[in-house]
Structures are given as C-alpha cells and as structure tokens.
Structure 1
C-alpha cells in the first residue's frame, strides 16, 4: 500500500487492524483535539486491549477516555498523571504505569510544546528540551528497563513524534536549550541501536503541518515568515520547492498509526527510521546531525546526566 500526504489515520488503521487488535498502547499528550487524542480515538475501533492515556492534565485525559468510550465502548482505558517537566513526577508516573501490571506493546511519545516563552522545567532544564526529550527519555527508558526484565522476549514499538523542524538545527551540547526535534530523532536511533536485538523497534516521525491542534498556539504569521527566511538562507528544500501542505488532524495522525503498527517497520533496516507521510524517509534526505551515531551517543550520555541515572542497555 502506498500512502500520501492526504492519507488518513483511519485508512492506515484499517490496513494495520490485525496488528492493533489486543495491543496495549501508551500515549502521552492526549488533550482533546490534539494529535494524541485523535490517534487514540482513531485506533480504538480496531480493538486494542488497553489504551493508557498519560497527561499532566487528568481532567482532559478523562475527557479523551470518554471520547474513546463513545467510539469503542469495549476498549479499556486508564488515565495516568504525567508531568514531563518534572523528573520526580515522571518517576511517579512510571510507578503508576507499572502498577497496572500489563505488558506494553506500543509507546507513543506524542506530547510536546513549541515556541513557548522561555522557561525551565522543575529541574532547571530549558522547558522545550526538557518536556519534549528529557521527560520522554526517562519515562521510556524506565518502562523498557522494567518490561525487558519482566518479559525479555516481548517486542515493543516506541514512536517519538518529532517534526521536519530538525532541518533548522542540531543539538547544541554546550547549549541544550536548542534542538529538541533533532533530539527526538537521535533518541530513536539510540534505542534502535541499543535494543533492536532485544525486540525493540523505535522510530521518529513528522506528522505534517496541522493548525487545528494547540501546538501552534504560540506561533504567529510572522513566525512562519521568519522560518521561511531561515529556510532560504540554509538552502532547505522545503523553502526552495515551495512545498507547504497543511493537513487535517485525521491526516496528521496517519503517520502516528503507521509508526505504531505497520509491519514494514519490523524490518531491521527500518529500525531507527524517520517517517513522513506514512513512509520511511530516505536517510539521504535527513541532515547528518539528526541521524549520526556519534551525535546520538552524545545525546544519550547527556540525557543520562540530566536525569541522574544510567541505563545499561
């Protein structure tokens, strides 16, 4: 099946239905109207066993649980409080998830913030880098560590939602207030390299440009114009070809569904891949700073330092 930028999540889910049924799926960032919630309600009619909804706003998560029940009454949901901007609270959330005593099949790290006013997490890390990467790094690694000990042969899929914004900058290791989109991609590469032999499949993705979610709240028209100036200065293909396609939320989650369930991604050559429009993007189209193994290892080491824990994968 060949997909396009107009393919919807439901279309991909229908193709992947036998890989969705009976799966336990954890999704972060599931406020109603966002891509995480749309992803959850899209896959629910295809009978996953359990959808774990992790969010810093429990009330919004409960509303998404109700929306899931409206389209798939028999699908179980559990709401977990997760504040990615707090290392201690991430650890508490992981304990609550592990207390569910279930084996997770798919982790979709969808939560993220963008273009917010400067701020820091509760641990003093720049807010976007801390929320979008560090919090997910800690949560996912703790879950994988525990699960691999419990069920060492169980295959797990990890999906890190990024964007094609990686083209605008690399992870600046002397200034970590920069580059979380590249960080999401490098983290996926690290998981694939370190845990691919143990059944973990990890990918990152660009969902597309979607204006119907809350992610672009802090962006004005002039901000998009300024990004265009940067693109032209850097010679980025996006600007030179004038390719700017806006997607609906239904189209935006298609690559989420593809990344979470499509069987093509179990091929070893696709582990660690970056996805766009429900397809694996050729590495030749990805700048080296978002796929380099040395950069990925440097980020892994930095992330361990920031959360004060080493993971012996």
Structure 2
C-alpha cells in the first residue's frame, strides 16, 4: 500500500523517499523563478542528485539566480537554462528547437509544465488567443509535443501538468475561447478554462502514448500558496477575493462560501514530486492529483469536464488547429 500522503506532506520528505528514483534522471521544469513552486521544485529535487536539471522560464536573470542556488549546494548536478515565453508560439518553437539541439542531453525523463499566469486582464497573445489560454495551455502544448522525441527516449517517460482546482471555474469554450473578443470576459472563468485544458492535456497524452510508448502523464493541484508571485498582481483584500467568490457562487461551487487553507512552498511542491516520481501511479495513468494522492471526486474538487476523454480529444484537435501543426501519435 502507498504511504498515506496528505496536505501536510512535504516535498522534502518525498525527495528523501524517492531519492533512488531521482538519481541520474534528467528533469526539465518550466516556470522556474526563485521563490515560486517551480523554483522550489528544482531546488528540492537537486538534493537527490539527478544527472541534469533544465530550468525554463521567461527571465534569464532569474533563471541564472536559480542555477547558482542549485549548483552552490549541489555541484555535481548539471544545470542548463532555457529562455521561453509560452504566450508566444514562436518562442515555444524556438525553445523546443534548442532542447532538440542539445547533444549532451539526449533524453528527458521528466517534463514538468509548471509555467502559468492567473486571472489577468483581457489581452490577446501575439497569435490572437486569449492570454491565459495561450500561456497556460497552447504554448506548453506545442513545446511538449515538439520535444516529445527526447521524452520518449526515456526508460520511464513522464509529463506533469501543473493545473489547479480552479478548473472548477470553467470548461473549454470550444467555439468562443476568446470570450467574444473580450466582450464577455471574466478573468476567473478564463483561468478556469486554461486549467481545465492542463488536465485534459495530461489525459490526452496518457491515452495517446501510455500503452504504445509507455508515457505516463498526470495533472496536479499544488494547493493555495500565498507566498508565490502567481497572484501578486491581484488585490485580494479589496476586490479579487470577492470576484473569485462571486464567480464560484454563480456556478454553485462550494468554494464560493468557504475559505482557503494555504500551504507552505514545501507542502505545495510535494504533489509535484509525487507526480514526477511515484511508481504506484502507473496504474492510474492520466490521473489528476491533489495533496500527493489521486483526487477523489467525493472529497476533492473534480469537474467532469476536465476528466472526459471526449473533451480531451476535442481539445487536442482544437489545439492542433490553433498551433498549425498535427501530432499523430
């Protein structure tokens, strides 16, 4: 039986438990910035001596800072940085081309798609797509598929999608993902759409490549961590908490009437580590995880629109159309 992990389980504890599974692996994590979930994840797994850690993010100065922090404590770990802005399909393509050109890193054992934005004002990406859907889904979708060749060279390939229980705020708006060019935009519903997309992408990867290629893919909710920069632009006290509660209440979600229990970074990243390395998950490929366990629809927030194979395939086709490329696995 697997250990009874819960909301209080820490990443540090799990890295110690999974040390033999992490040692010698190559891990690529996106959204890496000091003091964030991505930054803490790469720091904590570095203690278990992976062969390579690739740090991907928008800001080269912050990437270098993360690299220095890792190598100072773990000089035997090879660290590479990769600049990428997932709001741009061109940037995602350029970054994937760089990864594929690295002869010294022929295999990626674990890809953690952690980069994202939350509840921003309405804006279209340079490719004409609502910014949260573009940054949180389309960019990672394209990047992941373009480097899939290196991922599948692993003996145990794994892709982790960092989503949120915020997927409760909206399904995929297949015929109106841009919210009528902003006329009906709600930043929370747009965030929900993008987080639903993360869950459906993990499900699609598991369905398309689980049996044929041995790929495992999972999505996860890290919990509410108030110390990260993800929501620093929001005014929680004056307007944004009220706006979030209102959005939930209109949908009938219990979160509209209850508070949120925050986690520490160490607790929040525990599910990242669990999704990346736990071997018992193989029997539940494509699962959505929370508090370092498989989400229970009776106890946890799990919407059917984010766990539907039918919706996952619809999103895959829409995504291929929007990026202008097909990936027939």
- TM-score, normalisation: structure 1: 0.94
Is 1:232 equivalent to 2:249 in the alignment?
Answer: yes
Q: Secondary structure at the match of 2:314?
A: helix
Gap change, CA 1:234 and 1:89, over 3 Å in 2: closer
Match of 1:83 among 76, 82, 85: 85
SS of the residue aligned with 1:244? Answer: coil
Deviations 1:51-84 (A, max 9, x none): 0011121111111001111221211100111121
Q: Select the residue among 241, 256, 261 that pairs with 2:272.
A: 256
Which of residues 275, 292, 295 in structure 2 aligns to 1:281? 295
Q: Give the C-alpha shift of residue 88 in structure 1.
A: 1.6
Please point out which of 240, 244, 267 is paired with 2:260. Answer: 244
2:210 corresponds to 1:210: no
Contact 1:38 1:249 in 2 (8 A): yes
Alignment of 1:108-257 (within 5 A): 108-145=112-149, 147-148=151-152, 151=153, 154-177=155-178, 178=190, 179-197=193-211, 198-221=213-236, 222-239=239-256, 242=258, 244-257=260-273
CA contact (8 A) 1:189 1:203 kept: yes
Contact 2:160 2:219 in 1 (8 A): yes
- For 1:51, what is the secondary structure of its paired residue? strand
Distance 2:79 2:127 in 1: 30
> 2:39–2:66: 8 Å Cα contact kept in structure 1?
yes
Write the distance in 2 (CA, Å) between the matches of 1:132 and 1:2: 31
Long gaps (5+) in structure 1: none
Secondary structure of 1:202's counterpart equals strand
CA distance in 2, matches of 1:147, 1:75: 19
Offset of 1:243 from its aligned partner? 5.4
The answer on whether the counterparts of 2:205 and 2:286 sit within 8 Å (CA) in structure 1 is yes
Deviation at 1:147, TM superposition (A): 4.7
Of 292, 309, 312, 2:308 maps to 292
1:20 counterpart = 2:36: no
Match of 1:2 in 2: 4
Distance between the aligned counterparts of 2:121 and 2:250, measured in 1?
25
Does residue 39 in structure 1 map to residue 41 in structure 2? Answer: yes
> Please, what is the CA RMSD of the aligned residues?
1.5
CA drift at 1:29: 0.6
- Quote how far apart the aligned CAs of 1:250 are: 1.2
Q: Is the 8 A contact 2:109 2:151 kept in 1?
A: no
CA contact (8 A) 1:203 1:273 kept: yes
Q: Distance in 2 between matches of 1:117 and 1:86?
A: 17
**Residues 86 and 233 (structure 1), Cα distance of their counterparts in 2 relative to 1, 3 Å cut:** closer
Q: How many residues matched?
A: 307
Q: Is the 8 A contact 1:115 1:218 kept in 2?
A: no
| Paired residue secondary structure (2:147) | helix
- TM-score, normalised to structure 2, is 0.89
Q: CA deviation at 1:252?
A: 0.9
